[in-house]
Amino acid sequence: MGLEPLFQAWSYFRRRKFRECADVCSQLLERPPGEQAAWSLKTRALTEMVYVDEIDMDQEGIAEMILDENAVAQVARPGTSLKLPGTSQGGGPSPAVRPVTQSGRPITGFVRPSTQGGRPSTMEQAIRTPRTVLTARPITSASGGYVRPGTALFEYIFHHENDIKNALDLAALATEHAQFKDWWWKVQIGKCYYRLGLYREAEKQFKSALKQQDMVDTILYLAKVYLRLDQPVTALNLFKQGLERFPGEVTLICGIARIYEEMNNISSAAEYYKDVLKQDNTHVEAIACIGSNHFYSDQPEIALRFYRRLLQMGVYNCQLFNNLGLCCFYAQQYDMTLSSFERALFLAENEEETADVWYNLGHVAVGIGDLNLAYQCFKLTLVNNNDYAEAYNNLAVLEMRKGHTEQVGDLQRSYTAAQKSEEAFPGHVDTQQLLKQLKEHFAML
């Protein structure tokens, strides 16, 4: 004797077999009269298939970046804007030794959906729907409103149909019906406004929801609004106030660390990541970012301990072995270096990851003095990723070492470029030496 169909559908849902669950519900709904429970469960199953955590997920496409009409200060004070994070005010490694992304943000140990992953390099990536990241956070109050069919319908329209306008209409009607006393619907209206780019309206809704019910999720949503409005200091204060009410809440501490990192205040970020580990010693992002910070602070053997910890926890991907290989090389554990890079190449899922591995192998080759191998590695980097600027730069240096120079002698442009470099990073010794050489050359003319 088989299971009762609705019970079987629930069983599928609990085992995360959402497609099977939706199919059983569809069969139930074909029978008259359609059960409300089956209808509600089907919308939940379809939503879960494409569900992304709105707090973690924030894909800023090319359109948003170019057509952004939100007024922000043109010349922000140092330490108050994410657009101009400035040089390393908070100590830690300088921009000369710590690479940054195209958006000017220091490369951390962790690619986040809202930062590097969210800045599309091609129009094709920008056009894709933002259903690419499932949440790494535990199930929170975001899924606590599923008890009623109306909330299940809202989630279905918002996530599955991606129809923000209709979702907003439904949420507005539901709030009115609840006489503006239901905090959950206010949060949903705020989410819709945020997606539509109406950040100030979203801020009002989240603040109103917080007054009614103090929730960690709502604090995180409100902080997202402030970060999009380029107000990191406001977001930091919000997180710190949140920590007074929710002491030791990992997502809030992690939020503070991320903002400090984006503002290039690496030492403060590292302190907060250490606080994260005191609360949750298996937090992958915190371990990876502290490891990365130690690596760029010339402590590869300490970084190695953090990356090995990730390996013990079961993280097994190309990036981790890439980092392990580099740490082993700089910590002079040469026996493990090449095997780590081999494993990284084996685990690489796309050409960009492969290019990164070959680029790092090129550095290892330069380090051991095998310039022919280095040349081959940098060439293989470009085969996999034709836009790899660092590889072109290093190939040029190798060609110069071989004496294949085509001297144009455009000293004026060189001097202008060096001056710009000095403005961007005043403490860079190599730039100062170059300027000195150029000035001596001009004096001789």
The pLDDT-based confidence of 28 (bands split at 50, 70, 90) is confident
30-47 pLDDT tens trace = 877 667 788 888 898 888
Q: Give the model's pLDDT for residue 94.
A: 62
- The Cα–Cα gap between 262 and 273 comes to 14
Residue 138, pLDDT score:
45
Residue 422: pLDDT band with limits 50, 70, 90: confident
Lowest mean pLDDT segment, chosen from 9-23, 61-75, 230-244, 391-405 = 61-75
pLDDT tens for 134-145 read 444 444 444 444
The torsion angle over the Cα atoms of residues 238, 240, 244 and 246, rounded to 10 degrees, is 80
Mean pLDDT of 368-376: 91
* pLDDT of 242 strictly over 50: yes
pLDDT in tens, 154-187: 888 888 888 899 999 999 999 999 888 899 999 9
What percent of the chain lies above the pLDDT cut of 70? 78
Q: Which residues contact 296 (CB under 8 A, 6 or more apart)?
A: 92, 93, 97, 98, 266
Fill in the DSSP letter of residue 13. Answer: H
pLDDT band at 67 (very low <50, low <70, confident <90, very high): low
Strand-pair partners of 106: 100
Say what the pLDDT of residue 118 is: 39
Give how far Cα 126 sits from Cα of 63, 112, 118, 269, 340, Å: 8, 16, 9, 30, 33
pLDDT band (50, 70, 90) for residue 116? very low
Burial class (CB within 10 angstroms; exposed 0-12, middle 13-18, buried 19+) of 112:
middle
